């Protein structure tokens, strides 16, 4: 035998309570809508800031590249354009790190 009891009874909810529940739902949805709008404004502001940073970064890269070109023109022809690291002491005589 089933442990569930089927009931044909139903509960009448007063119309005033139904209206209150729906009004509460509307207020909750309006609060959610306001929060989403605020987040949208924050996101739009951040996207604008990001775009501005991207433009400034691009300009800086271009400026630095032009500076490099200008500096390379000032170098004598035999001067290397990349710095050279000093030779490690264990490599100076053809040795390895273990036996120098």
Q: Which residue has the higher pLDDT, 18 or 75?
A: 18
Q: Specify whether the CB–CB gap between 75 and 85 falls below 8 A.
A: no
Query: What is the C-alpha separation between 84 and 80, in angstroms, rounded?
Result: 8
Condensed to tens digits (0 to 9), the pLDDT of residues 19-65 reads 999 999 999 999 999 999 999 999 999 999 999 999 999 999 999 99
Condensed to tens digits (0 to 9), the pLDDT of residues 62-98 reads 999 999 999 988 888 775 666 666 766 666 666 555 5
Query: What is the C-alpha separation between 25 and 11, in angstroms, rounded?
Result: 21
Among 10, 31, 29, smallest CA distance to 21 is for 29
Query: What is the C-alpha separation between 45 and 53, in angstroms, rounded?
Result: 12
């Amino acid at each position: 035998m089933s442990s569930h009891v089927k009931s044909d009874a139903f509960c009448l909810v007063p119309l005033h309570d139904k209206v209150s529940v729906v009004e509460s739902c509307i207020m909750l949805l309006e609060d959610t809508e306001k929060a989403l709008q605020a987040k949208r404004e924050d996101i739009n502001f951040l996207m604008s800031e990001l775009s501005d940073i991207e433009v400034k970064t691009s300009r800086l890269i271009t400026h630095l590249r032009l500076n490099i070109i200008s500096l390379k023109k000032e170098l004598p022809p035999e001067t290397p354009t990349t710095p050279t690291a000093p030779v490690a002491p264990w490599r100076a005589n053809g040795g390895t790190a273990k036996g120098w």
